[in-house]
Amino acid sequence: MKSILLTRPLSDSLNTRNTLKKYGYEVYIEPVFTIKYLRPDISSYEFDVVISTSKNSVKALSQIYKLGSLPIVTVGNSTMQTAKDLGFSDIISADSDVDGLISFIKSHYSIAVKFLYIRGQEVSCDLKKRLSEEGFCVREVILYKTVIKKSLTNRCKNLLSGSKINSVVFFSSQTARVFCSLVLKSGLSHTMGNIIAYTMSKNIADSLKSVKWKKIVTSRLPTRESLINIINRSY
């Protein structure tokens, strides 16, 4: 049986594991960080539309802002669905990556609109800067941060050293960088030469290059569905 290691926070990994197990994979979970939600006071902020590029940002928003009709634009459909599940109703998805989100905003919104960009402490793209350069008024607020693990679990080390893992799946540049650093710290980087890395974007793939992999495979679209499709085709 082909085995896959997931590196996202536990709640996200559990959903992906359930999907992958339906296709017959043995799935292990090794979260490389946990999410800590922050609770800033945004009651005095003036904005018309919220921008979200991650599920964690809308989860954090739901804890401090209860207006369900708040307009939200998301980078992808997964984040949009999370927002709907949390009770927000006025949501639209760019169904793309960050570049596509910027193009979507330029096409659908006036520069008179005031945006609030909700984000984590670490982001791979300075969205506020890029939209500001296009003439948009954007305020950003950090709603969560990641608490990075100091080492891999003994179980994960044993799985890697015992060649029990065929592939590792990455959904963000941060998880890719952290996993590689933990593998190097554990002295197990040589085991990656027999493992395929699956990613959702070129940026994530580039974040894996501190380690030598058997192969790095990037999905056609930056979505979970596209990533799972490429995994199934590879196997």
Q: Check if 3-32+149-234 and 35-146 are the same fold.
A: yes
Closest-CA residue to 128 (of 141, 111, 146, 145): 141
| Percentage of residues in the chain having pLDDT higher than 90 | 87
Closest-CA residue to 232 (of 6, 22, 9): 22
At 69 the pLDDT is: 82
Mean pLDDT of 23-36: 96
- Cα distance between residue 80 and residue 97, in whole Å: 13
Domain 3-32+149-234, what fold? Rossmann fold (3.40.50)
The domain 35-146 is classified under which CATH number: 1.10.10.2120, 1.10.15.40, 3.40.50.10090, 2.60.40.1180?
3.40.50.10090
Domain limits of the chain?
3-32+149-234, 35-146
Instruction: State pLDDT tens for residues 111-153.
Output: 999 999 999 998 878 999 999 999 999 999 999 999 999 999 9
- Cα distance between residue 80 and residue 147, in whole Å: 25
Total-model pTM: 0.83
Partners of 170 in beta bridges: 199
Mean pLDDT of 72-82: 93
At 44 the pLDDT is: 94
The region of weakest confidence among 82-86, 104-108, 195-199 is 82-86
What the block records as the tokens of 24 is 């017959």
Closest-CA residue to 115 (of 50, 58, 71): 50
- Cα distance between residue 128 and residue 137, in whole Å: 9
- Distances in Å between the Cα of 175 and the Cα atoms of 58, 72, 118, 218, 222 are 19, 26, 20, 15, 15
Instruction: State pLDDT tens for residues 91-106.
Output: 999 998 899 999 999 9
